[in-house]
Amino acid sequence: MSNLFRKLPKLDILMKDTKLEECREKLNYNTFYSLVKETIDSFRENIKNGKIIDFEIDDIIDEIVKKSKFAGVNRLKKVINGSGVIIHTNLGRSVLNKKALEMLVEVAGNYNNLEYDLETGKRGHRNSHVEELICKVTGAKGALVVNNNAAAVIICLNEFAKGKNSIVSRGELVEIGGSFRIPDIMELSGSKLKEVGTTNKTKTSDYEKAIDEETALILKVHRSNFKIMGFTDEVENSEIARIGKENNILTMEDLGSGVLVDFSKYGVVKEPTVQESIASGIDIVTISGDKLLGGPQCGIILAEPHLIDRLKKNQYLRAFRVDKFVLSTLESTLKLYLDEREAVREIPTLRMITENVGEVLKRAEKLHGLLKEKGIESQIIETRAKIGGGSMPEETVPSYALAFEGDPVQLERYFRTGDVNIVGRVQDNNFILDLKTIRDEDMATIVEKAIDK
């Protein structure tokens, strides 16, 4: 063992080895120094544990070169989505459109008027950049943007129902990803939960009987990530709005997904739209920006101007406010909605949901051909791609995928890991890449990865 320890190279000498010249050029000094030191230390520890009984200097160099491929690489990076899940919560949800990205670079790379009124030369409010546009697109009279939909719900309940009761149907006490639950969010806001109805049935009379002097608000929560089917009943928005007005209490809907387009026109299952919620008479509607709206992560509160003014003074807003990156990309995305045809064409999420399956087949045939040219066998198969993202539970659209020969578990891991990261899925004992979520510009990368295998 002592001989092996003496055989370990000195750090400064190994760093100058000509076989590591490419690593020295690729990495900055501190990263390269740490990599070499950690590798030597690893060999030393393995000698001590008896895991290494002999080695050569080249073994250490090979390990350094291998690790250098990942050294200095950002932890958050591009992933090619071949899973077929359009709004993939774990892969960053909606992909931003090109115009939003262009504006993001313009705003982020320069000083900007985030909180500066160029007309008056005085301090402005960051919400002013998008409020009018949000109202124009949704039909709301006032709007406020916060950093996600959970924050939107919290600040509304805190402002309008703190210390008082908020009535919620038992069938709508949902839990979203990461174990965030409506009862917990309500508790954090300071509002008291008052459950009504049953898991599968809630009636108008349930709400009416629950109202008393301690009631501040009726909250309706859209079941965006699950369905209740069979012997069911729920109260429509317009009826909840009527109950609220007759009893002089606020009504609110946590709509979540932020649908601004009627998907049924494109042959997809209909999802309640934001415009329909506003038109129903509900006082406050909250939505997400990064789901079916197709924009950046944020929460949008839609309400009458006097309610929005109160929220702007709430102390939570400082913690929940959004930055220049969100506002610039949200504004660019919302502008596309001024013409629905342009929105469906330019916003990636909408385009993937509504595109003709024939276009997906063309991409599948193109990738299949590119792979075949390199001697890589694959098979085109019909699939169902998921809309996903806690937006339309279990709703799918027709798609095509490539199925690869070989051990599906090993293939899934191989494509997912390494320098280039491609996420597919295992289906019917095959590893597949679903072309619904793969773009033309990603195909060359996929082929290179497959060749290396």
Domain boundary among 346, 375, 398: 346
Handedness of CA 55, 56, 58, 60 (dihedral sign): positive
177 and 259 in a common domain: yes
Q: What is the pLDDT of residue 39?
A: 96
Q: What is the pLDDT of residue 233?
A: 84
Which is more confidently placed, 385 or 234? 385
308 and 433 in a common domain: no
Q: What is the pLDDT of residue 302?
A: 98
Strand partners, 302: 143, 285
Which is more confidently placed, 304 or 389? 304
pLDDT band, residue 183 (cuts 50/70/90): confident
Across the chain, what does the average pLDDT equal?
93
Which phi and psi (to 5°) does residue 27 adopt?
A: -105, 150
Angle among Cα 278, 280, 283 to the nearest 5 degrees reads: 60
Domain boundary among 325, 346, 367: 346
Which is more confidently placed, 179 or 307? 307
Q: What is the pLDDT of residue 432?
A: 98
Task: List, in sequence order, the alpha helices (H) in 258-299.
Answer: 274-279
Angle among Cα 146, 147, 151 to the nearest 5 degrees reads: 75
363 and 286 in a common domain: no
Domain boundary among 285, 315, 346: 346
DSSP E strand stretches across 250-357: 250-256, 284-288, 299-303
- % the chain with pLDDT above 90: 83
Distance CA 275, CA 266 (A): 18
Distance CA 313, CA 416 (A): 46
Q: What is the pLDDT of residue 234?
A: 86
**CA nearest 399: which of 388, 389, 385, 387?**
385
In which domain, by residue range, is 231 found?
A: 98-346
Query: Is pLDDT of 23 > 90?
Result: yes
Query: Is pLDDT of 390 > 90?
Result: no
Q: Which CATH number belongs to the domain containing residue 417 in this structure?
A: 3.90.1150.180
Distance CA 215, CA 369 (A): 64
Is residue 74 one of the residues assigned to a domain?
no
DSSP E strand stretches across 298-347: 299-303
302 and 195 in a common domain: yes
Q: If you count them, how many residues does the chain have?
A: 453
pLDDT band, residue 172 (cuts 50/70/90): confident
Q: What is the pLDDT of residue 379?
A: 97
Query: Is pLDDT of 227 > 80?
Result: no
pLDDT digits (tens, 9 = 90+) for 310-354: 999 999 999 999 999 999 999 999 999 999 999 999 999 999 999
pLDDT band, residue 153 (cuts 50/70/90): very high
pLDDT band, residue 452 (cuts 50/70/90): confident
Classify residue 230 as left (phi > 0), alpha (psi -120 to 50) or beta: left
175 and 296 in a common domain: yes
206 and 153 in a common domain: yes
305 and 272 in a common domain: yes
Query: Is pLDDT of 44 > 60?
Result: yes
Kindly state the DSSP code that residue 349 receives in the 8-state scheme. Answer: H
Q: What is the pLDDT of residue 175?
A: 74
pLDDT digits (tens, 9 = 90+) for 263-316: 999 989 888 899 999 999 999 999 999 999 999 999 999 999 999 999 999 999
C-alpha distances (whole Å) from 194 to each of 169, 173, 206, 224 are: 8, 11, 11, 21
Is residue 73 one of the residues assigned to a domain?
no
Is residue 190 one of the residues assigned to a domain?
yes
Query: Is pLDDT of 228 > 70?
Result: no
Distance CA 279, CA 286 (A): 14
Is residue 167 one of the residues assigned to a domain?
yes
382 and 336 in a common domain: no
371 and 333 in a common domain: no
pLDDT band, residue 224 (cuts 50/70/90): low
49 and 156 in a common domain: no
Query: Is pLDDT of 47 > 60?
Result: yes
The total number of structural domains in the chain stands at: 3
Q: Which CATH number belongs to the domain containing residue 126 in this structure?
A: 3.40.640.10
Q: What is the pLDDT of residue 219?
A: 95
**CA nearest 64: which of 19, 29, 10?**
19
212 and 107 in a common domain: yes
**CA nearest 221: which of 193, 248, 249?**
193
Is the Cβ–Cβ distance between 191 and 217 less than 8 Å? yes
Q: What is the pLDDT of residue 2?
A: 83
pLDDT digits (tens, 9 = 90+) for 58-76: 999 999 998 898 887 788 9
127 and 202 in a common domain: yes
Is residue 300 one of the residues assigned to a domain?
yes
Enclosing H/E stretch for 397 = strand 392-404
Can you tell me the mean pLDDT for 115-139?
Answer: 96
Can you tell me the mean pLDDT for 393-419?
Answer: 92
Q: What is the widest separation between alpha-carbon atoms in the chain?
A: 89
pLDDT digits (tens, 9 = 90+) for 69-106: 888 778 899 999 999 999 998 999 999 999 999 999 99
What Rg do the C-alpha atoms of the chain give, in angstroms?
27
